[in-house]
C-alpha cells in the first residue's frame, strides 16, 4: 500500500545539529505529514519541535512534535542522528566508536522494543559501523537499515568535478566508495559527465585526482574547524535517502549497506552504489573498478571489519 507523504510519519532520533537540520529539511521538502522528534535531552527535542512547527506555518502543513518511542514505532522511517561527536578536528571518526555504540544501541533497542517496522536511516558516526550495529540490534533485514555513508562525500566530489569541468554537478556521475572516513576512495575510473569518462574528457589536461580526493576527504574537517560541527551536507544526504524511500524512486546512490560478496567482500557495511526505493536498499551495484581502486576498497573493508570486531569484543567484555 503506498502511503502519501501527508499520511507518512518520519521519526528523527537525536535532535542536535544534524537531527534538527534533518527535521527542518524533511518539513521544507514536504516528505512527511508527521515528523516526531526524540532526544535524550527532552527539552532540546521540544524546543526544536516548536521552532520547526512555527517555521511550518510558512510552509506546507505538517505536524511536528517532540514524542516518545511508542510514537516513533509507527513511523515508516526513523532517521537516527544520536551519537558521539568529535571533540577536535584531529580526532578520527573511528575513535568515536564505543561512545556512539552505547547511544545507538539504546536508541535502536528502544525503537525495536516499541515494535518499529519501518526503515532506519542512520547518520551517527562512525556511520558504517553504526549502521551495522543498528542492523544487528534491530534484527531487521539489512536492506532496511541504511547508513548515509559516502553520499555526502560523493556530493562533494560531484560538486568539485562539476566546477572543474564547467558542468552542473547533477550531470556528473561520480562515487566515493568504502568507509565514510579516512580509508574512503574516490573512484575516478567510474566518473563521467555527458556519458564520457572524466579521464577521457580531460585527457589533454589530466585532473589532479590525488588533490581532489584529498579535498573531498578533508571537506568535513575543514567545515568542523570553522563551525565546530557539520550539519547541512549530512542532513541533506539523510533527507535525500528518505525522499528515495518515500517516492519509491529506485534511485542509485552511494549509501552504506551490508555487502554480500561484492568484490569478494561480505558481512561488512560500507558504501557502494545502491538502488534505493520503498523497501530500502533493493540492490547493491558492483561496477568494474580498476586494480588500484579494488585494492583500496578491500583495504577500506578491512579497516571496518577490524573496527567492528574490536567493538564486538568490547561488547562481550561489557556483558
Ligand X SMILES: NC(=O)c1ccc[n+]([C@@H]2O[C@H](COP(=O)([O-])OP(=O)(O)OC[C@H]3O[C@@H](n4cnc5c(N)ncnc54)[C@H](O)[C@@H]3O)[C@@H](O)[C@H]2O)c1
Residues in the chain, overall count: 319
Among 230, 236, 300, 307, binds ligand X (CB under 6 A): 230
Q: List the grid coordinates of 55.
A: 517555521
> Per rule CB under 6 A, is residue 14 in the interface with ligand X?
yes
d(Cα 224, Cα 218) in Å, to the nearest integer? 10
Give me the phi and psi of 90, to 5 degrees please. -80, -20
Return the H-helix or E-strand segment holding 53.
helix 42-56
180 is catalytic: yes
Q: Max Cα separation, the chain? A: 60
Contacting ligand X within 18-57 (CB under 6 A):
18-19, 39-41, 44
**Residue 293 grid coordinates:** 581502486
**180 contacts ligand X (rule: CB under 6 A):** yes
| Catalytic site residue from 17, 50, 135, 180 | 180
Binding of ligand X by 307 (CB under 6 A) = no
Measured from the CB atom, the residue of 30 and 91 that comes closer to ligand X is 91
H-type alpha helices, 29-92: 42-56, 69-73
- 16: contact with ligand X by CB under 6 A: yes
Which one-letter DSSP state was computed for residue 39? -
Stretch that binds ligand X, among 77-85, 131-139, 200-208, 274-282 (CB under 6 A): 77-85
Euclidean distance between CA atoms 109 and 91, whole angstroms:
28
* Stretch of 23-31, 63-71, 209-217, 229-237 contacting ligand X, by CB under 6 A: 229-237
What residue number has its CB nearest to ligand X?
A: 16
Contact 187, 175 (CB under 8 A): yes
Q: Name which of 238 and 246 has its Cβ closer to ligand X.
A: 238
The residues carrying an active-site annotation are 180
Q: Residues interacting with ligand X, by CB under 6 A?
A: 13-19, 39-41, 44, 81-85, 96, 100, 103, 106-107, 123-125, 127, 148, 152, 180, 229-230, 234
Amino acid at each position: 500500500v503506498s502511503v502519501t507523504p501527508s499520511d507518512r510519519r518520519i521519526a528523527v532520533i537525536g535532535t542536535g545539529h544534524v537531527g534538527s537540520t534533518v527535521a527542518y529539511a524533511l518539513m521544507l521538502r514536504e516528505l512527511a505529514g508527521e515528523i516526531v522528534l526524540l532526544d535524550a535531552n527532552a527539552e532540546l527535542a521540544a524546543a526544536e519541535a516548536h521552532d520547526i512547527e512555527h517555521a511550518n506555518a510558512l510552509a506546507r502543513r505538517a505536524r511536528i512534535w517532540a514524542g516518545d518511542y511508542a510514537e516513533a514505532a509507527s513511523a515508516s522511517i526513523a532517521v537516527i542522528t544520536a551519537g558521539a561527536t568529535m571533540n577536535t578536528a584531529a580526532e578520527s571518526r573511528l575513535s568515536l566508536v564505543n561512545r556512539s555504540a552505547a547511544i545507538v544501541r539504546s536508541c535502536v533497542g528502544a525503537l525495536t522494543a516499541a515494535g518499529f517496522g519501518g526503515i532506519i536511516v542512520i547518520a551517527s558516526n562512525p556511520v558504517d559501523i553504526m549502521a551495522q550495529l543498528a542492523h544487528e540490534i534491530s534484527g531487521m533485514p539489512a536492506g532496511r537499515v541504511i547508513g548515509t555513508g559516502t553520499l555526502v562525500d560523493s556530493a562533494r566530489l560531484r560538486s568539485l568535478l562539476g566546477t572543474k569541468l564547467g558542468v552542473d554537478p547533477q550531470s556528473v556521475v561520480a562515487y566515493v566508495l568504502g568507509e565514510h572516513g579516512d580509508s574512503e576512495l574516490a573512484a575516478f575510473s567510474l566518473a563521467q559527465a555527458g556519458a564520457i569518462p572524466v579521464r577521457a574528457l580531460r585527457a589533454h589536461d589530466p585532473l589532479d585526482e590525488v588533490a581532489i580526493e584529498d579535498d573531498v576527504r578533508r571537506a568535513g574537517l575543514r567545515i568542523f574547524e570553522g563551525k565546530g560541527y557539520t550539519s547541512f551536507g549530512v542532513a541533506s544526504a539523510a533527507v535525500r535517502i528518505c525522499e528515495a524511500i518515500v517516492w519509491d524512486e529506485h534511485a542509485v546512490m552511494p549509501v552504506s549497506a551490508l555487502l554480500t560478496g561484492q568484490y569478494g567482500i561480505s558481512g561488512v557495511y560500507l558504501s557502494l552504489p545502491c538502488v534505493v526505493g520503498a523497501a530500502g536498499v533493493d540492490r547493491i551495484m558492483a561496477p568494474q573498478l580498476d586494480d588500484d581502486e579494488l585494492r583500496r576498497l578491500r583495504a577500506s573493508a578491512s579497516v571496518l571489519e577490524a573496527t567492528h570486531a574490536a567493538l564486538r569484543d568490547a561488547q562481550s567484555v561489557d556483558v
